[in-house]
Amino acid sequence: MNLGERCGDSAEHVRSNRDRLAGLLPAPPQWSRQVHGTAVARHPGHPGPEPQADALVAFAPGRVCAVLTADCLPVVFCDRAASRVGVAHAGWRGLAGGVLQATVSALECDPGELMAWLGPAIGPSVYEVGADVVAAFPGEFEQGFTPRGDRWLLDLYSVARLKLAAAGVEAVFGGGFCTFSEPGRFFSFRRDGVTGRMATLVWLEHP
């Protein structure tokens, strides 16, 4: 059930999988061209080219926002009034660059009214990174790193919670999965190298 078009799979198979997924949803998802950046696109509400963005937001019912991951962290947003939703693709580059803060800003409401859910990502006991990754984060986020020899273990979930708290989002849920450690359930680029992509989706229901 690979949904990624840029990981070496048959284009026909990917289209078939995306069609199967769309049949379960109120509308086809809005996909984007993810580049590990911080750009946020607003769901246009009509078919069009994929925007280059690592987060999507929507303000009307039935507009399905999607991101693809295979170890990076997907973060879903909604407000308590159920008037807006968003989803962000947050690997370490996106987290360091501020993709979560950018998504919060794009949702155009009081951050205290937002709730966030941390989807499946590579877990803190296996995500080994180098000094370049540690250097990408300011000192206040050091608690997201655990030394291991001359390298570090990165806790994406912990860093995401810190970033969300800094942006004013206090209601944060999820964060209990490890894509690397559950091969029967999740794709993992770090584990397999050549692998598919999973989708995390969010939309507002019609009233």
pLDDT band of 67, cuts 50, 70, 90: very high
Distant-in-sequence, close-in-space partners of 161: CB < 8 Å, separation ≥ 6? 118, 172, 175
| Model confidence at 155: pLDDT above 80 | yes
d(C-alpha 132, C-alpha 149), whole Å: 15
Q: Which pLDDT belongs to residue 63? A: 96
Dihedral in degrees, nearest 10, Cα atoms 165, 167, 169, 172: -50
DSSP per residue, 61-93: TT--EEEEESSSEEEEEEETTSS-EEEEEE-HH
Distance of CA 113 to the CA centre of its chain: 20
Q: Which pLDDT score is estimated for 206?
A: 86
Q: Which domains does the chain have, with CATH numbers?
A: 11-202 (3.60.140.10)
Q: How confident is the model at residue 152 (pLDDT cuts 50, 70, 90)?
A: very high
pLDDT digits (tens, 9 = 90+) for 15-31: 999 999 999 999 999 99
